[in-house]
A and B are shown apart, each in its own frame.
Chain A
Amino acid sequence: MRLSFEWLKELLPDLSLDQTLDLLPRLGFGVEEVIDVGIDRVISARIKKITPHPRREGLLVLELRADQDYRVVTGAKNLSPDDNVLLALPGALIKGREIGVEDFDGIKSEGMLLSEAELGIVDEAEGVIRLPPKVEPGQWFNDLFDTKIIDLEITPNRGDCESILGISRELAAVTRGNFSPPKLRPPRLKSGPRIGIEDPDDCPRYTGMVIEGVEVGDSPFPIKWRLFHHGIRPINSLVDITNYVMLLLGQPLHAFDLDRIRGGIRVRRARDGEEIVTLDRTRIGLNREHLIIADREGPVAIAGVIGGMKAEIDRSTRRILLESATFNPEVVRRATRGLLIDTQSGRRFERGCDFAMPPLAAEYAQRMIKGRPESFTDLKVPLRRKRVSFDPKRIGRYLGIPIKKREITTILSALNFRVREVNHRLVATVPSYRRDIDSECDIAEEVARIYGYDRIPSRLSRGAQVGTIPQELRMIRRLRSILIGLGFYECRCFTPISKDALETFGIGPGVVIKNPLNERFTHLRTSLAPSLVEVLSTNYRNGNLDVRIFTIGKVFQPDSPRPKEEDFLGLLVGGRTSPPHWSGDERRWDFFSLKGVLELIARHLTAEELQIADDPIPMFDHYSARIVLGGKKVGIIGQLAQRILTRFGIKEPYYFFEVDLGRFLLRMEEPIYIPYPRFPKVRRDLAFIVDESISAQDIIKAIRQLGGPLLAEVIIFDRYQGGGIPAGKVSLAFRLTFQPQERTLTDPEIKELTEKISSGIELRFRAKLRDKEVDVGRTQDFGGEDR
Chain B
Amino acid sequence: MLEELKRFEAEVDTALKGVKDPEGLEQLRLRFLGRKGRINEFFKRLGRLPVEERPKVGKILNQLKARIESTIASRRSELKEQEVPRIDLTLPGRMGWVGHPNPLSLVIDEIIDFFVGLGFTVEFGPEIETDWYNFEALNIPPYHPSREMFSSFYLGDELLLRSHTSPVQIRVMERKGVPIRFIAPGPVYRVDKFDATHSPFFYQIEGLYVDQEVSFAELKGDLEAFAKHIFGESVRVRFFPSYFPFTEPSAEMSISCPICQGKGCRVCGDSGWLEILGCGMVHPNVFKSVGIDPDRYQGYAFGLGAERIAMIKYIIGDIRLFYENDFRFLDQFR
Residues of chain A touching chain B, judged by Cβ–Cβ distance below 8 Å, are 25-28, 30, 155-158, 329-330, 333-334, 337, 350-351, 397-401, 439-442, 444-445, 448-449, 453-454, 456-461, 463-470, 472-473, 477, 480, 483-496, 511-518, 521, 524, 535, 538-539, 542, 544, 548-549, 553-554, 556, 562-563, 565, 577-579, 581-583, 585
Contact = CB atoms under 8 A, between A and B. Distances in A.
B224 A458 contact: yes
Contacts of B284: 439-441
A289 B184 CA distance: 39
B217 A456 contact: yes
B245 to A, nearest CB: 8
8 contacts: A25-B240, A157-B243, A465-B119, A484-B99, A485-B98, A487-B99, A491-B325, A581-B94
B211 A463 contact: yes
Interface stretch (B51-59, B70-78, B101-109, B255-263): B101-109
Given A465-B181, A489-B325, A515 B154 contact: yes
Contacts of A477: 109
A585 B221 CA distance: 57
Nearest to A457: B217
Interface string B304-334: 0000000000000000001111111010000
A399 B105 contact: no
B327 A400 contact: no
Nearest to B306: A492
Max count, chain B CB within 10 A of own CB: residue among A157, A444, A456, A489: A489
A715 B123 CA distance: 42
A460 B98 contact: no
Interface in B83-123: 91-92, 94-102, 104-105, 109, 112, 115-123
B313 to A, nearest CB: 16
B63 interface: no
Interface string B208-232: 0101011111101110110000000
Interface stretch (B16-24, B33-41, B145-153, B164-172): B145-153
A513 B97 contact: no
A675 B240 CA distance: 61
Contacts of A440: 284
Contacts of B117: 467
B77 to A, nearest CB: 26
Interface stretch (B1-9, B42-50, B246-254): B246-254
Contact of B220 (A457, A556, A578): A457
B267 interface: no
B91 A350 contact: no
Given A156-B146, A467-B120, A445 B241 contact: yes
B281 interface: yes
B161 interface: yes
Given A397-B215, A488-B99, A517 B200 contact: yes
Contacts of B264: none
B119 to A, nearest CB: 5
Contacts of A517: 153, 191-192, 194, 200
A549 B325 CA distance: 9
B214 A578 contact: no
Interface string B123-141: 1101110000000000000
B189 to A, nearest CB: 8
B98 A484 contact: yes
A635 B119 CA distance: 37
A583 to B, nearest CB: 7
Contacts of B95: 578-579
A30 B214 CA distance: 27
Contacts of A521: 200-201
Contacts of B119: 461, 463-467
Query: A-B pairs with the 7 shortest C-beta distances?
Result: A400-B217, A28-B241, A400-B215, A155-B243, A445-B249, A487-B97, A467-B116
B212 to A, nearest CB: 9
Contacts of A514: 153-156
A441 B215 contact: no
Contacts of A513: 153-155, 161
Nearest to A444: B249
Contacts of B100: 484, 489-490
Contacts of A524: 155, 161
A30 B97 CA distance: 48
B204 interface: no
Interface string B274-311: 00000001011000000000000010000000000000
Contacts, number: 255
A515 B153 CA distance: 6
B153 A333 contact: no
Contact of B281 (A28, A337, A398): A398
A398 B99 contact: no
A156 B145 contact: yes
A516 to B, nearest CB: 7
A441 B283 contact: yes
Max count, chain B CB within 10 A of own CB: residue among A441, A511, A565, A578: A441
A486 B99 contact: yes
B240 A28 contact: yes
B303 to A, nearest CB: 15
A718 B188 CA distance: 51
B139 to A, nearest CB: 11
Contact of A157 (B146, B192, B298): B146
B238 interface: yes
A582 B109 CA distance: 39
Given A441-B249, A453-B251, A493-B323, 20 more contacts: A25-B240, A157-B245, A329-B145, A330-B144, A441-B281, A449-B249, A456-B239, A457-B220, A458-B221, A463-B211, A465-B181, A467-B120, A470-B122, A489-B99, A491-B325, A513-B155, A514-B154, A514-B155, A524-B161, A563-B128
B116 to A, nearest CB: 4
A585 B93 CA distance: 12
Given A490-B102, A495-B187, A515-B153, A582 B143 contact: no
A585 B94 contact: yes
A399 B215 contact: yes
Contacts of A488: 99
A460 B221 contact: yes
A488 B98 CA distance: 7
Nearest to B200: A517
Given A468-B121, A521-B200, A398 B215 contact: yes
B242 interface: yes
B201 A495 contact: yes
Max count, chain A CB within 10 A of own CB: residue among B94, B215, B251, B324: B215
A514 B330 CA distance: 33
B159 interface: yes
A493 B202 CA distance: 10
A156 B222 contact: no
B210 to A, nearest CB: 11
B91 A494 contact: no
A303 B10 CA distance: 121
A454 B239 contact: yes
A473 B122 contact: yes
B327 A542 contact: yes
Contacts of B211: 463
A783 to B, nearest CB: 25
Contacts of A578: 94-97
Contacts of A577: 96
A490 B249 contact: no
Contacts of B326: 538-539, 542
B122 A448 contact: no
Nearest to B252: A30
A483 B118 contact: no
Interface in B176-190: 179, 181, 187, 189
Contacts of A463: 119, 179, 181, 209, 211
B197 to A, nearest CB: 14
Nearest to B245: A157
Contacts of A585: 94
A378 to B, nearest CB: 27
A525 to B, nearest CB: 12
